[in-house]
C-alpha cells in the first residue's frame, strides 16, 4: 500500500534547489522547478551516482559521475553518459539506458509529501 510521507517544507526550496531525502529506506531526490516539485530516485541507473550532487538546469538533472541526463518531470533519459570513445562505448554497451523512478509529490500548505 502506497502512502504519502513528509519530505520537507516549502520554505526550504527556491527554484532550482534540490536535495536528497530518505523515505522508508529509499533515497529520493526532491527538486523544485519553477513552482512545481518533482521527486525521482536519487541514484543514477548507470553506476549509482548521487544525483542530488549533480547539476539541475531547468528540468534536467545531470549525474556528476558520467554526465547522464534525465528529465525530473518524468524520469526519461535525455543523454546516456557523456562523451565518446572507447570508454563511453564500453559503458553504454554494458548498461543500456534506463529511466529514473519517479514519485508523486503533493504540496499542502508548507508541507511537501512524496508517495512511496
pLDDT at 96: 84
| 115 falls within a domain | no
The span from the CA of 77 to the CA of 68, in Å, is: 8
- Quote the DSSP letter at residue 75: -
pLDDT at 95: 72
User: What's the CATH number where 72 sits?
Assistant: 2.102.10.10
**Per-residue b or e along 46-73, where b marks 16 or more CB atoms closer than 10 Å to that residue's CB:** beebebbebebeebbbbbebbbbbbbbe
The span from the CA of 49 to the CA of 98, in Å, is: 14
CA atoms within 13 A on the CB side of 55: 8
What is the residue range of 61's domain? 4-109
| 114 falls within a domain | no
| 60 falls within a domain | yes
- Total domains in the chain come to 1
Residue by residue, pLDDT tens for the chain (116 residues) are 899 999 999 999 999 999 999 999 999 999 999 999 999 999 999 889 999 999 999 999 999 998 999 999 999 999 998 766 665 666 666 678 999 999 999 999 999 999 99
Amino acid at each position: 500500500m502506497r502512502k504519502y510521507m513528509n519530505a520537507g517544507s516549502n520554505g526550504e526550496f527556491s527554484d532550482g534547489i534540490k536535495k536528497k531525502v530518505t523515505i522508508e529506506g529509499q533515497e529520493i531526490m526532491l527538486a523544485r522547478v519553477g513552482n512545481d516539485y518533482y521527486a525521482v530516485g536519487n541514484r543514477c541507473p548507470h553506476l549509482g551516482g548521487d544525483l542530488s550532487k549533480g547539476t539541475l538546469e531547468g528540468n534536467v538533472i545531470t549525474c556528476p559521475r558520467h554526465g547522464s541526463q534525465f528529465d525530473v518531470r518524468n524520469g526519461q533519459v535525455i543523454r546516456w553518459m557523456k562523451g565518446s570513445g572507447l570508454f563511453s562505448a564500453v559503458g553504454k554497451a554494458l548498461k543500456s539506458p534506463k529511466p529514473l523512478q519517479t514519485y508523486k509529490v503533493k504540496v499542502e500548505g508548507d508541507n511537501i509529501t512524496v508517495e512511496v
